[in-house]
Amino acid sequence: MVDNRAESPNRTKDVATDGGREKHNGASFLPPSPCAHCGKPLPGLRNARMKVHPHCFAAWQYWRTTGKLHAKRSVGETTIPRDCRYCSLPIALPRRSRQTVHEGCAQGNNNEMHERWRKRHPSVAKAVRDAWASRLRREVLEAYGNECVCCGETTPEFLALDHIYGGGTAHRREIGKGHIASQHFYSWVRQRGYPKDLRILCHNCNQAKGKDRLCPHEIERGVRLDGTPIAALP
């Protein structure tokens, strides 16, 4: 006997038959059956071993492991009082439904955890910090063209950011101090959306220009970096 349904053009390729029941990607159209947990009907297209809804199973599993009823998770606000699990002081209402700590307590605890981890793993922490600093510097240089605007140098190790209108040393001191001052500066540049008053110069051109001086490349070209001609030198 020929199964005419298999030859019907309206049937999709992902539909198969198993004992007269249609199967869609491993699931079958089964007769209506109530959920063993809530009693509501299960979906018709389901696995034969499915006895409860997925959310009912998750609620039962949560109760089994914690002994508490599964609360509905929401991103809204609630007026149910709750104490901070770090300082034990009440959280101001209305609070976020998932909020269990004060924002200040969470930030302080994270900082302490990171500091303890850095002390336990100094070599790993240094490698992570160096990799982050290298990636940050590379992103900033690429945003400004990754090339010295004076001589065309493209070697990343020879490039640096220059303040077009001066004041770069004072600006860097305001942002950060110590050996990570440059990291703070590059992070500041990225957070501000790469300001237009910065440019890339190689260390030679940057040192040659100094304060209100001309780079030898500018003298050779007879034109400043801003496009203005240089008056003939005596």
For 229, the token pair is 């001609």
Helices 168-175 and 181-191: crossing angle, nearest 10°? Answer: 90
179: nearest Cα among 126, 141, 135 = 126
| 217 found inside a domain | yes
User: Do 207 and 201 touch, CB atoms closer than 8 A?
Assistant: no
Instruction: Tell whether 210 is covered by a domain.
Output: yes
Residue 61 counted as domain residue: yes
**How many Cβ atoms sit within 10 Å of the Cβ of residue 167?**
12
Domain count, the chain: 2
Does the pTM surpass 0.75? The reply is no
Q: Is residue 51 part of a domain?
A: yes
Q: Which of 70, 94, 113 is the last residue of a domain?
A: 70
Q: Does residue 78 sit within a domain?
A: no
pLDDT tens-digit profile, the chain (234 residues): 444 444 444 444 444 444 444 444 556 677 778 887 677 787 776 677 777 777 777 766 666 666 555 444 444 566 677 788 777 788 877 777 677 777 777 777 777 778 888 888 889 888 988 898 899 999 999 999 999 999 999 999 999 999 988 888 888 888 876 556 777 888 889 988 999 999 999 999 988 887 668 888 888 888 888 888 877 554
End-to-end CA distance of the chain: 108
DSSP-assigned beta bridge partners for residue 77: 96
Domain-located, residue 212? yes
- Domain end marker among 51, 70, 89: 70
| H-only helix segments in the chain | 54-66, 103-120, 122-143, 168-175, 181-191, 203-209, 216-221
DSSP string, 125-163: HHHHHHHHHHHHHHHHHHHTTSS-TTT----GGGEEEEE
Structural domain including 184 reads: 145-221
Does residue 199 lie within any of the structural domains? yes
As a whole number of angstroms, the distance between CA 51 and CA 21 comes to: 18
Residue 76 lies in a domain: no
- Total Cβ atoms within 10 A of residue 189: 20
